[in-house]
Chain A
Amino acid sequence: MTTPDTQVEQDRAVMSRRNFLGFLGKGVACAGALVGAGGAVGAVVSERGNRAFQQNDEQYAEAVNNPPQVPDYNWNDHKWAIGVDTDRCIGCLRCMEACKTENSVQMDANHHRTWVERYVYLEGSNTAIVDSQSDPKNIENTGSETKFRFDNRYRNVKVDKAFFVPKLCNQCEHPSCVQVCPTGATFKAKDGPVLIDTTYCIGCQYCVQACPYGARSFNESRGTVDKCNWCYHRITKGLNPACVEVCPTGTRIFGDRNDPESPVSLFIRNNHVQVLKPEMGNAPNVFYKGTDKEVV
């Protein structure tokens, strides 16, 4: 069950994440920059067959011990939310790639901060067939867990209806993961995201059990839990989360609900939106348009 992520840790960065971030910082209004960088990094990955851009141990320790100071940011002023317009999603999975790159998520099929689900109703069927990039067939098709593609398995069958549903942490108003954390290492920030203090997490994984959305995973090499934080290091600097930034179709919409004219406020106001598993009582902050009953 363990994933000795030694490969990740041993890799001495060809293009370290630090440089990568520095590059971004210089780019300031970097709408296109990340897409370009993502492509470049993808090329590095496929050539070397390993994960050159992942944080190594020292970089990780540095990031944890000296978190960047963001002097102009007041978390009482914001209420972040994400909208997902599933009608727009084309399943290109650039969001997954960007997320794994941006956040040094383990590069295998069992650890994700975000993923995309494909729902397919075959002709005459009332239930959807669901898969994600982690499905063995998709990975066999590309030959690697680090190439993010859906295969074309429905090529020769009649499909009634099909759509993609991007998933990420819902940063719930009543997060059950925070409720069950025995140490308080995971907590809800005032501006919305649920964060983890990885220097305090004991790695009991109770929160992994408690999340109704399967959004949390366990990083075996660090002995602590990992989750999507809507790229908290980016949003506190006024940037979009990486997945939102790279989405070529505008499926993912990010913004501040305190601002009635922000993209997400407009999205929620102008569309019929719903949340996932409302019966859990978690009150998610990711709002979906265009999903149907089969979506889990």
Chain B
Amino acid sequence: MEHVFDHVTPYIGYVYPNETDVPWSQLIVIYPYITGLVAGAFVISSLYHVFNIKSFAPVSRFALLTALCFMIFAPTPLLFHLGQPTRAFNAVITPHWTSAMAAFGYVAGFYLCLLLLETWFAFRADIVAMSKVKTGIMGKVYGVLTLGSDDVSPHALAIDHKFARILSMIGIPSAMGLHGYVGFVFGSLKTREWWSSDLMPVIFLLSAVASGVGLLIVLYVIVSKFRKTPIIDETMRGLLYVLFAGITIVMVIEALELLEIFYKAREGVDTVKALIAGPIWVGMAIQWIMSVFVLAVTSGLLIFEVHGKRLVNWLFLCGLAIMVGVLAMRWNVVIGGQELSKTMKGLLTFYPEVFGRESLFVVGVISVCPYITLWLVTKLLPPWADGKKAVV
């Protein structure tokens, strides 16, 4: 018997024969996850740059670099997933505009340029200073990075600040657009009951912000421990407020989404229930336990006005929990949507490959890359202000 059932996704009930080859794998799970982290980190950066919320000042430049480093890797999962990656730019050269996916190259490209520009304006003074101080190769590198603009007079710096602020302002709708758009890619498909929802872009967007804030909390705490610098209480409180607001709205909207499916109870609702109780129950459990945990802890931290070390520890746990919870949510949406058959008479159970082009290994490598890049970039462009003025 030749390769019978080698790579078949097992199923129960009846699914269309072609469905046993699940089109979008775990790579498409981390793609919206990574862009989500970008959106969240960028929002924190903008809260200081645009709205001038001072408590975020210490992390705003770090948040900007975080957004940049994750954005660089946002398209990689897609490239690994494409059957013909060398033709990826066909979608940019000859975009077919009725496709939600056709705009991806433009949206992502625009946003990446914006992040690069804003980073340059935000760091230009430092780059100029470094180019004066450093010698050898690094001196040359910084020299190139100044792009020939080494004017650091108060007037020039004011212009820098103004430009960074304007770019940040444009960046907010762009970040929202980028991620709302990712939600649209899924939500606009009428074929899949589990995706086809008007709330999908909103859910994607809000969970993105929540996960990005979580990422920033985790990174800020870890980096501060390594650098042996104090963690600023005011900043942590600020992050707490954003996280609390984020998780509250996300949970309400996700609950509404599920409620609507069950309340409308259209044909096939039993299969949706079976999906939640079956193939994605682990993911759903992780998503909701983590969400409830974050909601409970952030509420507690707010009610009891927790500060200092306890705030740091609990908020760190919340950050990790929301990152895990949102990752689980991405799995539940992307994989869950495909596990629910288009026939509405069957359920597939997707098992990811461990090694190979589309595998957990590749997912792991891609997921680690932004962190390594961020570490390198912070070496190049230190985002911390503590050298210049002592903060707490």
Q: A residues within 8 Å of B by Cβ?
A: 1-3, 7, 49-50, 108-112, 115, 117, 129-134, 136, 139-140, 143-146, 167, 176, 178-185, 200-206, 208-220, 222-225, 280-281, 296
Chain B at the A interface: SS class: loop
Judge whether B356 and A2 touch: CB under 8 Å.
yes
In the complex, whether B274 has a CB less than 8 A from a CB of chain A is no
- Chain A nearest Cβ from B347, distance in angstroms: 14
Q: How far is the CA of A210 from the CA of B188 in the complex (A)?
A: 9
Judge whether A179 and B99 touch: CB under 8 Å.
yes
- Chain A nearest Cβ from B227, distance in angstroms: 42
Judge whether A209 and B99 touch: CB under 8 Å.
no
- Chain A nearest Cβ from B258, distance in angstroms: 22
Q: How far is the CA of A30 from the CA of B90 in the complex (A)?
A: 41
Q: A108-B3, A144-B4, A176-B191 are in contact. Are A1 and B21 (CB under 8 A)?
A: yes
Judge whether A184 and B94 touch: CB under 8 Å.
yes
Nearest opposing residue in chain B for A225, CB measure:
B83
Question: Which residues, 89 to 139 on B, are CB-close (under 8 Å) to A?
Answer: 90-91, 94-96, 98-102, 104
Q: B residues within 8 Å of A by Cβ?
A: 1-9, 13-25, 78, 81-85, 87-88, 90-91, 94-96, 98-102, 104, 185, 189-192, 338, 342-345, 353, 356-358
- Chain B nearest Cβ from A132, distance in angstroms: 5
When distances are taken between beta carbons in the complex, the residues of chain B under 8 Å from A185 are 90
Q: How far is the CA of A212 from the CA of B78 in the complex (A)?
A: 23
When distances are taken between beta carbons in the complex, the residues of chain A under 8 Å from B357 are 2
Output the residue of B1, B2, B15 with the most chain A CB within 10 A. Answer: B2
Nearest opposing residue in chain B for A49, CB measure:
B2
Q: How far is the CA of A130 from the CA of B99 in the complex (A)?
A: 33
Q: How far is the CA of A116 from the CA of B82 in the complex (A)?
A: 30
Judge whether B18 and A214 touch: CB under 8 Å.
yes
Pick 18 A–B contacts, CB within 8 A, sort by A: A1-B7, A1-B22, A2-B357, A129-B14, A130-B13, A139-B4, A143-B1, A176-B190, A179-B99, A183-B96, A205-B24, A208-B18, A208-B23, A209-B23, A209-B24, A210-B191, A218-B83, A296-B14
Nearest opposing residue in chain B for A220, CB measure:
B83
Query: Which residue in B13, B14, B82, B356 is a CB contact (below 8 Å) of A204?
Result: B82
Q: A1-B353, A181-B99, A211-B191 are in contact. Are A109 and B83 (CB under 8 A)?
A: no
Q: How far is the CA of A217 from the CA of B9 in the complex (A)?
A: 14
Query: Which residue in A115, A134, A200, A223 is a CB contact (below 8 Å) of B90?
Result: A200
Judge whether A109 and B24 touch: CB under 8 Å.
no
When distances are taken between beta carbons in the complex, the residues of chain A under 8 Å from B17 are 109-110, 112, 115, 132-134, 214
